[in-house]
Structure 1
């Protein structure tokens, strides 16, 4: 009786295995494009996201609220003293973003604190971009809106 069950189970296992290979793995979702102009969550600036080499980067394109020192504001909070004289306008804040499945991974720089974080960005519809900055296991998420 035992050999009969084993003989029956082997063809069933083979058919199941064959069906799994015929269906194949689910295709990986590609990250939706994120290029364009985006209004920050605080609504104080517009970030231009565009290709830079083989990656995607984002620069401060326009101020919606002038910084404390005016439109000529410098990167005074940068921990690297050599970079403290660069203007905020046109400065990169998103760098090295590459597609990883349905998200983009890279680094984000916060000129208000002078700190840089590991980051993930993802499209959440035609007019919404989810921007996440992480320090270790702790992350903060912002929602940026498409600029018109």
Structure 2
């Protein structure tokens, strides 16, 4: 009976949210760690190529001197099958925050779609999982 419980626990763990983990953007300039708080998903820039870079384009002058490395750039996503919706993404290069959805492609690619208003008006990029 204990062995059966162990297999069930392993199966449940294996079905944990596949989006969790570390990802790299297409340019290789940034790495993002996606994690879960409660029932929502978030992501922070845990590494950037220029680690001393400041958030100079932030619309809030009080935030412009903070480091970009360590910023939470993905916020408040909820899971709908292999898509994560109703969240936002902050772009430190422009200082703008966009609506965003993320879609898993297999286990090693994550399509990120930032947009204003409706999803058709935006841009996409594909992040790769860091192994």
Name the TM-score class by shorter chain: 0.7 to 0.9
What is the TM-score with the length of structure 2 in the denominator? 0.79
Instruction: State whether residues 32 and 43 of structure 2, in contact with CA within 8 Å, keep that contact through their aligned partners in structure 1.
Output: yes
Which residue does the alignment assign to 1:41? 26
Instruction: State whether residues 58 and 96 of structure 2, in contact with CA within 8 Å, keep that contact through their aligned partners in structure 1.
Output: yes
Instruction: State whether residues 18 and 107 of structure 2, in contact with CA within 8 Å, keep that contact through their aligned partners in structure 1.
Output: no
Number of residue pairs the alignment of both structures matches: 112
Which of 69, 75, 80 is equivalent to 1:95?
75
Q: Deviations over 1:68-96 (max 9, x none)?
A: xxx22211100011211221111011011
Q: Which runs of 5+ in 1 are unaligned?
A: 1-31
Deviation at 1:141? 1.0
Write out aligned runs for 1:106-145 (5 A). 106-137=87-118, 138-145=121-128
| Aligned counterparts of 2:117 and 2:26: Cα–Cα separation in 1 | 22
Whether 1:147 and 2:127 are equivalent positions in the alignment is no
| Aligned counterparts of 2:41 and 2:102: Cα–Cα separation in 1 | 11
Q: Which runs of 5+ in 2 are unaligned?
A: 1-16
Q: Which has the higher helix share?
A: 1
Q: Which has the higher strand share?
A: 2
Deviation at 1:101? 4.2
Q: RMSD of the alignment, in Å?
A: 1.4
Runs of 4+ residues over 6 Å off in structure 1: none
Which of 14, 38, 43 is equivalent to 1:53?
38
Deviation at 1:131? 0.5
What is the TM-score with the length of structure 1 in the denominator? 0.71
Bigger shift: 133-142 or 122-131?
133-142
Q: Deviations over 1:5-61 (max 9, x none)?
A: xxxxxxxxxxxxxxxxxxxxxxxxxxx631110000221111000112331110001
Which residue does the alignment assign to 1:22? none
